[in-house]
Chain A
Amino acid sequence: MLFVITRAPLGDWVRSVHYWAAGGLAVTLTAHLAYVFWRRSYRRPRELTWWAGVGLAGLVFLLTVTGTVLRADQEGFEALTHFTAGGELLTGVGGGFFTQGFTPSTTLLARMYTLHTSLLPLLALGLIGIHFWLIRHLGIHANGGGASTFRVHAVRLAGAALLVYALVGALAVLVPEDLGYSYVPGFEVTKPFWPVLWVYGLENLLGVWGMVVGPAVLSAYLLALPLLDRAADDRPGVRHSARWAGMALGAALVGLWLYGWLGEARPHIM
């Protein structure tokens, strides 16, 4: 990390762009998910598009937490211990992958590096391909039905993405991301990267199980939504028990995020 920050050409800026872009992705992804939820665009025949999007959201969550590990500072070390603790809780359902005992010959940190830089991005590219192909194939579910085309949508999407890139690039210059202090094993003093603060808030309430229960409940709801909301009308908004449940879940997430942000830092594992 020190080499990237101090020696690699433009390394400090590129790293800061990576940090701000990750936060920007969390914001735009949440906004996109909320709008699609409000528009009820997850309904037939777009269930698969929605499920591909939910899969992408899950991958972004994993990319966020594996990326934190690679900081290799106090925050990164604590993220790694969370992975290990979560892996031990879920050993029966594949969680053992996140423990050192899974492959003693390869360090857990090296596996995190491979996940973050290779495996998860490849999976994300595949799901983005499916997501976009389905949007192209099924058409845009926009106001006035048929008022927009994939081509128009893609051009505007590219334009907006470039503006976000310019903003992220400027933020990386004005507010470069620092690095934490060298980690001291046995202590838990940091809070996670802000997009996952809601999980931290839940851990304050439920202990280490919070990081398993929260994402599991959210994923289960999002995956089940197209099956729960089968109402024939096409009106946006909240007029169905499944959508009210989603609003309640969203409010709980906001509350947990604020609690994680404003509440005191507590150890959950150490």
Chain B
Amino acid sequence: MTFLTATIPVEAGEGIYRLEVVAEDGDVSASLELTVTAWPAATGADPSGTTPDMDHMAGMPSIPTARADDVTIECRGSGAGWALIGGLIGMAAGLGIGLLSRRPPEVLGP
């Protein structure tokens, strides 16, 4: 069994990363998925800083706190993605207005 220690860069953003071990000949000899979440989500600590940070007190266990509010997760959308979303919304609105403004047929009956 091989043990490997990896340090996550502090500037690493939230998301899912693939950690790969590359051998000298260039082959990937091992890999694993790594999920990085914001520190309040991981520890339940109060990001407002109004409660004492137990994690940094020697000998004190971390006390998780349940929270009812949401984490805001930053997402990077591409220009093409936004264009596609705008196109879908516009197409739905146009088709919807078109169908609603259609004159109903004259024939009555079930």
Using a CB–CB cutoff of 8 Å, the interface residues on chain A facing chain B are 2-3, 5-7, 9-10, 12-13, 74-75, 136-140, 146-147, 149-152, 155-156, 158-166, 169-170, 173, 176, 178-184, 186-191, 265
Q: Are A165 and B108 in contact (CB under 8 A)?
A: no
Q: Are A5 and B102 in contact (CB under 8 A)?
A: no
Known contacts A2-B15, A2-B16, A181-B40, A190 near B93 by CB under 8 Å: no
Known contacts A2-B37, A163-B97, A184-B65, A169 near B88 by CB under 8 Å: yes
Beyond A2-B73, A162-B93, A166-B93: 18 further Cβ-contacts under 8 Å? Answer: A2-B14, A6-B75, A12-B77, A13-B77, A75-B68, A136-B110, A139-B110, A146-B109, A146-B110, A149-B108, A152-B105, A155-B102, A164-B96, A166-B96, A169-B85, A181-B66, A183-B66, A265-B68
Q: Are A74 and B96 in contact (CB under 8 A)?
A: no
- Could you show 21 A-B contacts with beta carbons less than 8 Å apart? A10-B81, A10-B84, A13-B77, A75-B68, A149-B110, A150-B110, A152-B104, A152-B105, A156-B99, A158-B99, A159-B95, A164-B96, A166-B89, A166-B92, A173-B85, A178-B71, A178-B72, A181-B71, A183-B66, A184-B44, A188-B66
Give min CB distance, B84 to chain A, whole Å: 7
Q: Are A6 and B73 in contact (CB under 8 A)?
A: yes
* Complexed CA–CA distance, A179 and B73 (Å): 8
Chain A residues near B75: list those with CB within 8 A.
5-6, 12, 176
Chain B residues near A189: list those with CB within 8 A.
66-68
Q: Are A170 and B89 in contact (CB under 8 A)?
A: yes
* Complexed CA–CA distance, A13 and B90 (Å): 15
Chain A residues near B102: list those with CB within 8 A.
155, 159
Q: Are B104 and A74 in contact (CB under 8 A)?
A: no
* Complexed CA–CA distance, A14 and B15 (Å): 18
A265 nearest in chain B by CB position: B68
Q: Are A180 and B85 in contact (CB under 8 A)?
A: no
Q: Are A146 and B108 in contact (CB under 8 A)?
A: yes
What is the total number of residues of chain B having a CB less than 8 Å from a CB of chain A?
Answer: 42
Kindly list the 4 A-B residue pairs having the minimum CB-CB distance in the complex, ordered from nearest: A159-B99, A162-B96, A187-B66, A178-B70
Residue in B41, B72, B81, B89 whose CB lies within 8 Å of A182: B41
Q: Does B100 sit within 8 A of A, measured CB to CB?
A: yes
Q: Are B35 and A2 in contact (CB under 8 A)?
A: yes
Q: Are A3 and B16 in contact (CB under 8 A)?
A: yes
Give min CB distance, B92 to chain A, whole Å: 4
Q: Are A74 and B89 in contact (CB under 8 A)?
A: no
Give min CB distance, B8 to chain A, whole Å: 15
Chain A residues near B68: list those with CB within 8 A.
74-75, 180, 189-191, 265
Q: Are A159 and B85 in contact (CB under 8 A)?
A: no
Q: Are B108 and A74 in contact (CB under 8 A)?
A: no
* Complexed CA–CA distance, A191 and B102 (Å): 43
Q: Are B44 and A169 in contact (CB under 8 A)?
A: no
Q: Are B85 and A10 in contact (CB under 8 A)?
A: yes
Q: Are A6 and B14 in contact (CB under 8 A)?
A: yes
Residue in A13, A160, A181 whose CB lies within 8 Å of B69: A181
Give min CB distance, A112 to chain B, whole Å: 20
* Complexed CA–CA distance, A17 and B107 (Å): 38
Give min CB distance, A115 to chain B, whole Å: 25
Q: Does B58 sit within 8 A of A, measured CB to CB?
A: no
* Complexed CA–CA distance, A139 and B35 (Å): 55
Q: Are A163 and B85 in contact (CB under 8 A)?
A: no
